[in-house]
Amino acid sequence: MIAELGLAALWLAASLALLQLALAAFGLKQGREDLLGGVRPVAVTQALLVALAFLCLVLLFLRSDMSVLLVAMNSHSAKPWLYKFAGTWGNHEGSMLLWVTVMGVAGAGVALFERTLRRDTHMATLGAQAAISLGFYAFLLFSSNPFARLDPPAPDGQGLNPLLQDPGLAFHPPTLYLGYVGLSVAFSFAVGALMTRNVDAAFARAMRPWVLGAWVLLTLGITAGSYWAYYELGWGGWWFWDPVENASLMPWLAATALLHSVTVLATRDALRAWTVMLAVVAFSMSMVGTFLVRSGILTSVHAFAVDPERGSFILALLAIYIGGALALFGLRVGTVREGEQFEMMSREALLVVNNLLLTVILGVVLIGTLYPLMTEAFGHKVSVGPPYFDRIAGPLALILMLAMIVGPLTRWRRDRAGVVAGRLLWPAIVMLGLVAVLAVTAWGRIGVLPFLGLVVAGGVALGSLIPLTKRNLRRTPLFIWGMVIAHLGCAVSLAGMASESAFNVEKLIAMAPGDSVETAGWTVRFDRVAPIAGDNWTAMQADVSASRGGATARLRPQSRFFTSPPTTTTESAILTKWDGQLYVVLGDRLDDGRWQMRIWWKPFVTLIWLGGVLIALGGVLAIIGRERRGWALKLRQIRAGEFG
């Protein structure tokens, strides 16, 4: 019954999305207030129904209902409940249902909480949001029904990829999805603004919290995904330039550019057309990423089910929505009044530099990711690996970081170059000092990029704090704190990346129980190895003691074997210290009874993710700082009974 209820709710939600689109379209076209009055209630009801459908699927997974095809294919009754729960979205159909659910709920949020936008733009935005949802409802109902029954029911499920049996899975994909879909709201705002020819500062202020929110979630999702790959894959790396990773990085780059340009539009009423363009591009990148992952055209690892039919469906959606929005852009943006002008030496100009660099990096990542497809068009499939991305995106990112020092220290509208240079004195001294120190201590031992990375990280770390000087810290607006902390987070993250690639020490050796090895100041002893059993796996677990300066810690890396489906995974053991992480992986047993061990010392590697969290925290502070007044107003209205 639950499956049928879910399916019915999904159909109803889809019909309401169609109704929402129709009401908004005809209401606006014919200027009929009676039709427009229905848009907001319908949007809220649609969100409730699609949330009900998602809840039904969660219940089916929690109850291990093997008469549902999706559950039988992706779950197993022996799995711990958390992974049954996470299994709901750990598959194609479930993740798409999560997608439309978040989209519906975000649409309801726009319907309920947006008060400042011009009414016709608000209605057009809700219509656009319903139009996008409709495509994904159609995708679910016609090509990826999550509630399809299996007759007769399976005796038990086929399990879940053991790599995915990790708490990280429970939260990482939904966080990214929330971010992707948050960008759909920005996209709808852009379409609504173009439709009603209303691109101005008020529009930017309405769109900003959604962009910021989506960006915070994407930042957290990418940070978590990076840490998950780092400890779960057991390869010691934290970013692999894999198509799936790039699929999440590209929307983030676009969203980062957008959140800076939307601030220019909100504050100075400049960069109108460009901001609208970026809003379209940001969500387009989310959809392109979803297409790349779901269609399988780039994954050569055959564990993914390649389904050309689904790929074609998403491609058709891409063509309709992105193509439609870009065509609307071409038609309408010429009629958007030009925004305010600004001088070459102004904060606006530096934010344009930021936007251009981010856009170029986005292009570099996009081209690198699609390179196999492009070369294939000429006969052979070649992919460009990490060297391409590091060498091209790396230097661009460093230039971007340098601009990040200058931007916040420059005034809006117009500033004098000499004065700005004076404010840059201290960061410049720090960077020159770092160049001198590193040149003496590490010249020739570390690569050029890590070298420059450490230098720039020092400059940005100091530079990001300068906007706080000469201010009363208690009275400093929260959004300034947000900017400072986010920029500081970039410096912290960059320092971690540069330090890891400059000073990382790796050791691959064969050890017998009782053996010791010295590496990077640590003494690592392999004490013993013994079998151990878990819920649905067995493992060989090594007991390793690592000591440095008198203190000893235990590490227990495992080589884990899962029964359904049979797969071996390595569980790395990580010891976190203030100055880095010791990372130990247990490899294969050799014929002579010794075991392969991989040991890394990664100095300050944790800064990478700490920086990511700081960046997200900065975003949260910016949202609170910008929106507090609006929320307080809304709350008073609700109390006074003016709601709805």
- By CB under 8 A, the residues from 405 to 424 that bind other proteins are none
139: left (phi over 0), alpha (psi -120 to 50) or beta: alpha
| Residue 435 interacting with other proteins (CB under 8 A) | no
- By CB under 8 A, the residues from 156 to 175 that bind other proteins are 158
Burial of 444 (0-12, 13-18, 19+ CB in 10 A): exposed
Interacting residue with other proteins among 303, 440, 473, 533 (CB under 8 A): 303
Nearer to other proteins, 167 or 323 (CB): 323
CA separation for the pair 60, 84 (Å, rounded): 9
Residue 95 Cβ vs other proteins, minimum distance, rounded to whole Å: 20
- By CB under 8 A, the residues from 588 to 617 that bind other proteins are 588
Nearer to other proteins, 454 or 540 (CB): 540
CA separation for the pair 203, 206 (Å, rounded): 5
Compute CA 450 distance to the chain's CA centroid, rounded to the nearest angstrom.
Answer: 24
| Degrees, nearest 5: CA angle 590-592-595 | 40
Interacting residue with other proteins among 31, 37, 80, 308 (CB under 8 A): 308
Nearer to other proteins, 498 or 540 (CB): 540
Q: What's the Cα-to-Cα distance from 251 to each of 65, 78, 246, 278, rounded to whole Å?
A: 36, 37, 9, 10
Q: Which of 68, 45, 46 is nearest to 56 (CA)?
A: 68
- By CB under 8 A, the residues from 369 to 408 that bind other proteins are 370, 372-374, 376-377, 380-381
Q: What's the Cα-to-Cα distance from 261 to each of 347, 409, 614, rounded to whole Å?
A: 11, 17, 21
Judge whether 513 and 524 are in contact, CB under 8 Å.
no
| DSSP characters over 264-277 | HHHHH---HHHHHH
Residue 263 Cβ vs other proteins, minimum distance, rounded to whole Å: 20
Nearer to other proteins, 54 or 321 (CB): 321
- b/e map 90-103, b = 16+ CB within 10 Å: bbbbbbbbbbbbbb
Nearer to other proteins, 307 or 527 (CB): 307
Residue 287 Cβ vs other proteins, minimum distance, rounded to whole Å: 11
| Residue 523 interacting with other proteins (CB under 8 A) | no
Nearer to other proteins, 194 or 573 (CB): 194
Residue 622 Cβ vs other proteins, minimum distance, rounded to whole Å: 28
Nearer to other proteins, 11 or 304 (CB): 304
Judge whether 449 and 395 are in contact, CB under 8 Å.
yes
Alpha-carbon radius of gyration of the chain: 26
Contact pattern for other proteins over residues 559 through 578, marking x by CB under 8 A: ------xx-x----------
Stretch that binds other proteins, among 115-123, 144-152, 223-231, 318-326 (CB under 8 A): 318-326
Nearer to other proteins, 339 or 453 (CB): 339
| Residue 341 interacting with other proteins (CB under 8 A) | no
Stretch that binds other proteins, among 59-67, 254-262, 304-312, 519-527 (CB under 8 A): 304-312
Q: Please name the helix (run of DSSP H) or strand (run of DSSP E) that holds residue 546, with its range, or none.
A: strand 537-548
| Residue 318 interacting with other proteins (CB under 8 A) | yes
Residue 586 Cβ vs other proteins, minimum distance, rounded to whole Å: 14
Interacting residue with other proteins among 322, 357, 455, 497 (CB under 8 A): 322
Residue 329 Cβ vs other proteins, minimum distance, rounded to whole Å: 7
Residue 590 Cβ vs other proteins, minimum distance, rounded to whole Å: 10
Stretch that binds other proteins, among 194-202, 317-325, 423-431, 490-498 (CB under 8 A): 317-325
Nearer to other proteins, 341 or 568 (CB): 568
| Residue 152 interacting with other proteins (CB under 8 A) | no
398-402 LR contacts (CB < 8 Å, sep 24+): 398/449, 398/452, 398/453, 398/456, 399/357, 400/354, 400/357, 400/358, 400/361, 401/456, 401/457, 401/459, 401/460, 401/490, 401/491, 401/494, 402/456, 402/459, 402/460
Q: Which amino acid is at 314?
A: I
Residue 160 Cβ vs other proteins, minimum distance, rounded to whole Å: 14
| Residue 233 interacting with other proteins (CB under 8 A) | no
CA separation for the pair 463, 447 (Å, rounded): 24
311-317 LR contacts (CB < 8 Å, sep 24+): 313/139, 313/142, 313/143, 314/139, 314/287, 314/290, 315/291, 317/135, 317/136, 317/139, 317/287
The token pair that represents 531 in the structure block: 């079998």
Q: How many CB atoms lie within 10 A of CB 629?
A: 9
Residue 413 Cβ vs other proteins, minimum distance, rounded to whole Å: 21
Q: Partners of 149 in the beta sheet?
A: 68
| Residue 197 interacting with other proteins (CB under 8 A) | no
Interacting residue with other proteins among 148, 327, 448, 512 (CB under 8 A): 327
Residue 320 Cβ vs other proteins, minimum distance, rounded to whole Å: 11
Residue 281 Cβ vs other proteins, minimum distance, rounded to whole Å: 8
Nearer to other proteins, 377 or 551 (CB): 377
| Residue 300 interacting with other proteins (CB under 8 A) | yes
Q: Which of 417, 422, 260, 255 is nearest to 348 (CA)?
A: 260
| DSSP characters over 375-396 | HHHTT------HHHHHHHHHHH
| Residue 531 interacting with other proteins (CB under 8 A) | no
What's the distance, Cα to Cα, between the start and end of the chain in Å? 34
Judge whether 613 and 243 are in contact, CB under 8 Å.
no
| Residue 297 interacting with other proteins (CB under 8 A) | yes
- By CB under 8 A, the residues from 265 to 294 that bind other proteins are 273-274, 277, 280-281, 284, 288, 291
Q: What's the Cα-to-Cα distance from 358 to each of 225, 262, 271, rounded to whole Å?
A: 21, 14, 16
Q: Partners of 308 in the beta sheet?
A: none
Interacting residue with other proteins among 29, 302, 629, 639 (CB under 8 A): 302
Interacting residue with other proteins among 148, 319, 425, 635 (CB under 8 A): 319
The residues of the shown chain that bind other proteins, judged by CB under 8 A, are: 158, 273-274, 277, 280-281, 284, 288, 291, 295, 297-298, 300-303, 306, 308, 311-312, 315, 318-319, 322-323, 326-327, 329-330, 333-334, 338, 370, 372-374, 376-377, 380-381, 565-566, 568, 588
